[in-house]
Chains A and B, each alone.
Chain A
C-alpha cells in the first residue's frame, strides 16, 4: 500500500527547534541600543509619580520640612508616597537640590547599599521638576542696602536675586530707621549690604549698625539683629577719632572701633591707630590687579569656576586692614591680593567672620547669636564694576561673590532647586 502525506521526521523536529530558538533569540535582541517598552514605562512612571507628588501637595510639604531643618520627616513623607505611587519592583532615588549639594536623598528604604544599586542599575529613567518653592519659602531674605551714588545703586541691582526683597537708601535717618524697624513693621533686614559707603556717618548711625550686628535674636518668627556684607570703602570713609588719639582713649571703645571689630579688623587696642590703609595705582606688582581666592572650602567660594577676581586697581583703591588676632578663631581669609610685592607680603581681599556664639533653644523657638556673621571686601567694588573698562565676566565674578556672601551672612539660601526622581527595576 502506498501511503501519501507529510512525513514529519526527526530532522524536521530538530529544525523547528532550531528555528524556535533563533526566533526567540532575535526577539530578545536590542541591537540598536534604543530604549525598549520597559524604559518607556519606567520614564512615564517617574514623570507621573513626580506630578502626583506635586498635585498631592507632598512636594510643598517636603520643602517646608527641609526649610525647618526636619530632614527625617521630609524623607519619610517622600518615601511613603513614592512607594504607594510607583509599581511594585521599581526602585527609586528621590533627590532635592543640586547633586553636589543635596538637601535630601531618599531611597526605597534605609539600607546602606542603595547608592551602589542605583549606580549599577541597568536601565534607569529620570524625571526632573525644578521648583521655586525654596525662593517663596525664603521670602524673608530681606536685604537693606546703603547706596549713596549711581554706581552703588546699579551694582546693588545686579546683586539682588529673584525672591529677595530689598530696601535701598543713601540717607542716614532712613537707614537707621530701617535698622530700628521703625519704617515698615513687617519688614526687617536679615542682612545689611554696604557696597561702598562714601559718606561720613554720624556716631549714631555707627552705633545703630553696631547694635544691629552685635546681637541676633530670633524668638518665634520675630528677629532682631543680623549680618552684614561691606566693601572696604565703608570702613575707610568713616575713620575718625583724632580726639581720642589725643587723650589716649582706646579706639575700640568708640562706635567706629567696634564696627571695625565687627568686620574682624583690629582697632589696635594698644594705640589709637585704626590699623587701616589704602593703596592704588601701578607699582603693586607685575600680575595685574586681581584678588586670588585662597580658600575654596567656604560657602562663599566653594564650587566657583574661577579662582582669580580682576579689579580696576589702577583707578580704585584697595584697602589694607590689619586683622584682629583676638577674633582669629572666627575669621577666614578667602581672598588675597596678589599685587603687593613688598617682601612677598599680601593682604586680605575678602574676609569672613563667623558669629562668636550661637545658642539655640529649639523647643522654645529661640536662637541667640553674638556678633552675627560679616563679610568684608577690601575694594570699591560698585565703582570698579561700573567702570567701562570692566567687562561682563569680571563684573559677574564680583556679583557672584557678593551674592554668596549675602546668603551666607543671612543664613538663608533662595534658589531654584531641582527635584529629581530616578527609577529603575531591581535586577533589570
Chain B
C-alpha cells in the first residue's frame, strides 16, 4: 500500500525545537520590554502631571489667587479624574505638599515647597 502525506522527519523536528525555544524566549523578552514601557509611560504621566500641578499652584500664588485646602483638594480631584493618578495636595502654614502616584504604585512623585509671601 502506497501512502502519501507530509512526514515530519527527524531533521525537521530538530529544526522546530529551537523555534519553540526561541518563541518562549521572545515571549519572555517581550514581557520584560513591555513592563519597561508601561513603567516609562506611567512615570511620564506622573512626571508631566506633577510639573503641571506645581506650575499651576505657583502661578495661582503669583497672581494672589486664593489657595486653601479646599481649593487644592479640588485641583487634585480634577487631575485624578482625567489622568487616573492619585494626586494629594495639601497646604499647611504656607507649605504645600504634593504627592502624585499611580494606583499600582509603580511611580511616585513628591515635593514640598513654601509659598512665596505666605
- CA of A129 to CA of B78, assembled, Å: 10
Which of A128, A129, A418, A420 counts the most chain B CB atoms within 10 A?
A128
* CB contact list, B19-59 vs A, under 8 A: 19-20, 22-23, 26-27, 30-31, 34-35, 37-38, 40-41, 44-45, 48-49, 52-53, 56, 59
Within 8 Å CB of A30, what residues of B? 34
**A11 near B45: Cβ-Cβ < 8 Å:** no
A120-153 vs B, CB cutoff 8 Å, 1 = contact: the mask equals: 0000001111111001100000000000000000
Q: Are A15 and B16 in contact (CB under 8 A)?
A: yes
Give bound CA distance, A163 to B56, whole Å: 14
Contact among B11, B26, B49, B56 with A7 in the assembled complex (CB-CB below 8 Å): B11
B42 nearest in chain A by CB position = A35
Residue A22 is within 8 A (CB to CB) of chain B in the complex: yes
Instruction: Say whether A128 contacts B23, CB under 8 Å.
Output: no
Determine, out of A36-44, A273-281, A298-306, the stretch whose residues face the partner at the interface.
A36-44
B65 and A132 form a contact (CB under 8 A): yes
In the complex, the chain A residue whose C-beta lies closest to that of B37 is A40
Q: Is the CB of A1 closer than 8 A to any CB of chain B?
A: no
**CB distance B56 to A40 under 8 Å?**
no
Bound state CA distance, A264 and B23, in angstroms?
78
Residues in A with CB closer than 8 Å to B7 are: 11
User: Could you tell me the dominant secondary structure of chain B's interface residues?
Assistant: helix
Cβ distance A62 to chain B, nearest Cβ, rounded Å:
17
Q: DSSP class of A's interface residues: helix, strand, loop or mixed? A: mixed
Partner of A19, one of B8, B19, B79: B19
Q: Indicate whether B107 reaches chain A with its CB closer than 8 angstroms.
A: no
CB of A113 within 8 A of chain B? no
Residues of A within 8 A of B52 (CB): 128-130
- A162 at the A/B interface (Cβ < 8 Å)? yes
Interface string of B50-85 (1 = CB under 8 A from A): 001100100110010111000100110011001100
* With A15-B15, A135-B65: A35-B41 Cβ-Cβ less than 8 Å: yes
The answer to whether residues A132 and B16 also contact, given A22-B23, A37-B37 and a CB cut-off of 8 A, is no
Q: Taking the complex as formed, is A384 at the interface, i.e. its CB lies under 8 A from any CB of chain B?
A: no
- Residues B34 and A36 in contact, CB atoms below 8 Å apart: yes
A27 touching B26 by the CB < 8 A rule? Answer: yes
A117 within 8 A of B: no
Query: B9 at the A/B interface (Cβ < 8 Å)?
Result: yes
> How far apart sit A183 and B72, CA to CA, in the bound complex (Å)?
34
B12 within 8 A of A: yes
Q: What CA separation (Å) do A31 and B28 show in the bound complex? A: 11
Which residues on the B side are within 8 Å of A27 (C-beta)?
26, 30
Q: What is the bound-complex CA distance between A12 and B23, given in angstroms?
A: 18
Q: Does A23 contact B (CB under 8 A)?
A: yes
Verify A40–B82 contact, CB threshold 8 A: no
Determine which of A14, A127, A130 lies in contact with B56 in the assembled complex, contact meaning CB atoms within 8 Å.
Answer: A130
Report Cα–Cα, A16/B60, bound state, in Å. 65
- Bitwise, A1-28 to B at CB < 8 A (1) or not (0) is 0000001010110111011001100110
Of A15, A47, A163, the residue contacting B65 (CB under 8 A) is A163
**Cα–Cα, bound, A380→B6 (Å):** 93
With A130-B56, A162-B67, A416-B78: A9-B11 Cβ-Cβ less than 8 Å:
yes
Q: Does A32 contact B (CB under 8 A)?
A: yes
A161 within 8 A of B: yes
A176 close to B (CB within 8 Å):
no
Q: Is the CB of B78 within 8 A of A34?
A: no
Q: How far is the CA of A11 from the CA of B11 in the complex (A)?
A: 8
Q: Is the CB of B16 within 8 A of A18?
A: yes
Question: A29 interface residue, CB < 8 Å from B?
Answer: yes
Residues of chain B at the chain A interface (Cβ within 8 Å): 6-9, 11-13, 15-16, 18-20, 22-23, 26-27, 30-31, 34-35, 37-38, 40-41, 44-45, 48-49, 52-53, 56, 59-60, 63, 65-67, 71, 74-75, 78-79, 82-83
List 20 other contacts, CB 8 Å, given A11-B9, A40-B44.
A18-B16, A19-B18, A19-B19, A23-B22, A23-B23, A26-B23, A27-B26, A29-B30, A30-B34, A35-B37, A35-B38, A39-B37, A39-B41, A126-B82, A128-B49, A130-B53, A132-B56, A136-B63, A163-B66, A416-B74
9 tightest A-B CB contacts, nearest first:
A19-B19, A162-B66, A15-B12, A11-B12, A162-B65, A34-B34, A34-B38, A128-B82, A15-B15
A-B contact pairs, 15 of them (CB 8 A): A9-B11, A12-B9, A14-B6, A15-B15, A18-B16, A23-B22, A32-B34, A34-B35, A43-B44, A130-B53, A130-B56, A130-B75, A130-B78, A132-B65, A136-B63
